[in-house]
Amino acid sequence: MHLIITEKHNTAKRISEILAPKKPKQVRVSGVDTYQWDGTTVMGLSGHIVAVDFPKEYNNWQKVDSRELINAEIITSPTQRKIVTALRKLGKEADHVTIATDFDREGELIGVEALRIVEKVNKNIQVDRVHYSTITKTEILKAFQTLSPVDFNLAAAGESRQVIDLIWGAALTRYISTTAGRLGNLFLSVGRVQTPTLALLVDKERERLAHVSRPYWEIMATLTKGIEFEVKHKAGRIWNEKDAKGIFSKLGDTAEVTNLKAKERIDQPPVPFNTTEFIRAASNIGFTASNAMRIAESLYMNGFISYPRTDNTVYPASIDLRKLIESLGKGVFKPYVENLLKQNELTPKRGKKETTDHPPVMPATFVERSKLKDDEWKIYEMIVRRFFATFASPAIWKTMQALFDISGEEFRARGASLMEEGWRWYYPYNKPDDVILPDLEVGQVLTVVDKKLLDKETQPPGRYGQGRLIKVMEELGLGTKSTRHEIISKLYSRAYVHGNPLQPTNTAMAVIGTLETYADTITKPEMTAKLEMEMDLISEGNKTEDEVVDESRVMLSAVFDDLNKNNEKITEELRTGMREDKIIGTCEKCESDLIIRRSKRGGRFIGCTGYPDCDFSLPLPKSGQIIVIDKICEQHNMNHIKIITKGKRPWDLGCSYCNFIEWQKSLKDTDDKKK
């Protein structure tokens, strides 16, 4: 029997439909669906079916010191028992196994995990590997005609990441959580990639908090010549109020055109999508990083787009790009394809990074809008349009800079209009608006219809949005194309951040502040980037997995040396920071702090620190993590709160007092109806 192993069940189903001469037979093996025909069986895994862990004797957080985890034994245990049982059963019967998991570091490891299980029951089985980037008939048939050996070095690199992340994450998380007294579901998570990423957000928040607003003034005038348009004083920001008022007071009611400069600006086409730029573009149209990748994965498994985890920004020469463009010329895309095919040559824009594992994120086949959900269509359409745009001509803008004299003061205006749409016709997202100026001539005198003296102040630097954060993580070597969006999701689920742009909580500020003071290695990107480079050496065959894991253990031991020297200070700072994250507002009865408390039965409520002298309290929801945000209720002077529950959207509860009043009112209304 020939056993083909894919990464997911959906992939197994699609590949079997492509390879089988007629509809394959669906057979359940140990509770797992497989697809069979003529001595061939295709089965899908569920991603990783085993996980690395510590032996059970290390599980007790309070009895086993966190430092012991650094050099503890690492074991592998099944996480998908039905799939493991099915693999063993089919592996005994097979004489040939083909690994058909995704072609990247993670996919190679998932395939090797499955292969190890098969080889335990069938040592002499023939093994090979197939590589593909789209699940289309053409590519799958080609892949199964071009078999390769399994890349055990690539899998070892993936496994080293699992082991290193387990050791660092478990040891540091246990240390910080037990030191802070935060156990159970509310433990404080620390990780090799997660923590330096969180440090970026905390450092940005500190910049914002340290910002001192500085007042400035701007002077604007509205002129008319057929249409009204605004001009701005050449000084831009005027830092002295007296100077600004002096200029404003002398302005008359006419403006003379003193200079005109017209130019053409060439707006070059975009490069093909890699994973990071795809996520950034999806973020710009309203998708979170994790949601964009989830949808892209679904589109890939259905054969509509290429593999969405890639660093490549150059289309491979092996792809017939003209043929692919022609195949997309249906439905809403028809006029765009017809226009592209008028070009004598289809020469795509090339990005800076070229790899050989996968093409850029691009369409694989045409799919009608009616066959996709709204969110799926938005992502698919954006990918198709980006693909078209990379073959299009540049957009050309006509720009105009005009200078005006108003009572001896120089004012300026800039105009821009799109003369040739070029690639922006295909890819209209985030297109700048035209800024129209009327036809002007030097020496013309225009009427000033309005003047404004604007009183402003400088603003703090903006927070990171998800798209921007992913880009910075890539630049600093934090995580990989496959894991960066997962790291951001983890920061949300751990209640370290909220909102988008991402705002760190007081607990996050306390954790990062403490680590930066006493063990800053874990907060710096250099540490995790160095380990990523070491993992690359494993995949290239220049280092072994054991060597890199042992090096990481030495680095982590040095971190613990610093932590243990300052244990008491760390405890104090963490608990102070977490207490600040529990303060909701000021008690209306006694003006003491209102904080989040737990009752003897484990329930949560808002209570007064003046207790027992003051008994003011408010109820809170029974489940979910509570995040105190900086928005304040004007009526009750209390911070709004959010409730984070795994698998659900965050609940903006708002002001707890307002919420309580509304709840009491609804109870009264219900009682009145019953009466």
Confidence (pLDDT) at 185: 65
Q: Cα–Cα distance between 545 and 153 in angstroms, integer?
A: 9
Across all residues in the chain, what is the average pLDDT? 92
Domain 160-210+462-576: state its class. Answer: mainly alpha
- pLDDT digit string (tens) for 209-253? 999 999 999 999 999 998 999 999 999 999 999 999 999 999 999
Torsion over CA: 123, 125, 131, 134 (sign): negative
User: In b/e form, how buried is each residue of 198-221, taking b as 16+ CB within 10 angstroms?
Assistant: bbbbbebbeeeeeeeeeebbbbeb
Query: Which residue, 118, 105, 108, is CA-closest to 150?
Result: 108
Evaluate whether 160-210+462-576 and 215-265+402-419+432-457 have a shared fold. Answer: no
Least confident range of 66-70, 237-241, 518-522: 518-522
User: Model confidence at 568, in pLDDT bands (50, 70, 90)?
Assistant: confident
328 φ/ψ angles, rounded to the nearest 5 degrees: -90, 0
Cα separation, 333 vs 310, in Å, equals: 25
Q: What is the pLDDT of residue 392?
A: 96
- Of 35, 58, 307, 427, the catalytic one is 307
d(CA 124, CA 130): 20
- Which helix H or strand E contains 141, and what residues bound it? helix 137-143
Report the pLDDT value the prediction gives residue 576, as an integer from 0 to 100.
80
For 248-274, what is the mean pLDDT?
96
Q: Tell me what pLDDT residue 611 has.
A: 86
Other residues' Cβ atoms within 10 Å of the Cβ of residue 5: 26
Q: What number of other Cβ atoms are within 10 A of residue 614's Cβ? A: 17
Give residues with Cβ within 8 angstroms of 573, minimum separation 6: 510, 513, 514, 517
Say whether pLDDT at 596 is over 70: yes
CATH number among 2.130.10.10, 2.70.20.10, 1.10.357.10, 3.40.980.10, domain 215-265+402-419+432-457? 2.70.20.10
Q: Is the pLDDT of residue 184 over 80?
A: no
Cα separation of 292 and 489, whole Å?
12
Q: Within its chain, how far is the Cα of 64 from the centroid?
A: 35
- Give the model confidence (pLDDT) of 5-53 as tens digits: 999 999 999 999 999 999 999 999 999 999 999 999 999 999 899 999 9
| Mean pLDDT value across residues 534-539 | 93
Whether the predicted pLDDT of 207 surpasses 90 = yes
**Does 307 participate in catalysis according to the annotation?**
yes
Domain borders along the chain are 2-45+80-150, 160-210+462-576, 215-265+402-419+432-457, 275-389, 582-674
Q: What is the pLDDT of residue 201?
A: 97
Least reliable range by pLDDT among 91-95, 118-122, 352-356, 415-419: 352-356
Q: Measuring CA to CA, which residue among 559, 87, 78, 483 is closest to residue 279? A: 483
Contact (CB, 8 A) for 254 and 404: no
Task: Give the per-residue pLDDT at 675.
Answer: 65
Q: What is the pLDDT of residue 198?
A: 97
Q: Does the pLDDT value for residue 343 go beyond 90?
A: no
CATH 1.20.140.90 fits 275-389, yes or no: no
Give SS3 for 589: coil
For residue 578, pLDDT beyond 80: no
For residue 529, name the pLDDT band (cuts at 50, 70, 90). Answer: confident
Beta bridge pairs of residue 99? 5, 129
Indicate the length of the chain as a whole number: 675
Q: In a 3-state reduction of DSSP, which class is residue 70?
A: coil
* DSSP letters spanning 342-387: TSS-------S---SS-PPB-B-S---GGGS-HHHHHHHHHHHHHH
Q: Which is higher by pLDDT, 488 or 610? A: 488
- Give the residue from 359, 390, 363 showing the smallest Cα distance to 379: 363
Tokens 């590949």 belong to residue: 15
Residue 169's CB is within 10 A of a number of other CB atoms, namely 18
Q: How far apart are CA 445 and CA 252, in angstroms?
A: 12
Please tell me the distance from the alpha carbon of residue 528 to that of residue 169, in angstroms, as a whole number.
Answer: 12
What per-residue confidence (pLDDT) applies to 187?
83
Listed in sequence order, the residues at least 6 apart from 619 whose beta carbon sits closer than 8 Å to its beta carbon are 605, 606, 660
Q: β-strands 227-233, 96-100: how paired?
A: unpaired
Give residue 9's pLDDT: 93
Task: Check residue 549 and give its pLDDT.
Answer: 96
Angle formed by the axes of helices 466-476 and 484-493, to 10°?
120
% of the chain exceeding 90 in pLDDT: 73
Q: How confident is the model at residue 604 (pLDDT cuts 50, 70, 90)?
A: confident
What average pLDDT does the segment 370-375 reach? 96
Helices (H), 266-327: 275-284, 289-301, 321-327
For 278-293, the pLDDT digits (tens) are: 999 999 999 999 999 9
Q: Does domain 2-45+80-150 have CATH number 3.40.50.140?
A: yes
For residue 118, give the nearest of 153, 155, 90 by alpha carbon: 90
Looking at residue 497, its pLDDT comes to 92
pLDDT digit string, tens, across residues 125-148: 999 999 999 999 999 999 999 999
CB within 8 Å of 348: residues ≥ 6 apart: 272, 315, 321, 390, 391
SS3 21: coil
Going by C-alpha positions, the residue among 551, 641, 576, 575 that lies closest to residue 605 is 641
Q: What Rg do the C-alpha atoms of the chain give, in angstroms?
A: 31
Q: Tell me if the pTM is above 0.75.
A: yes
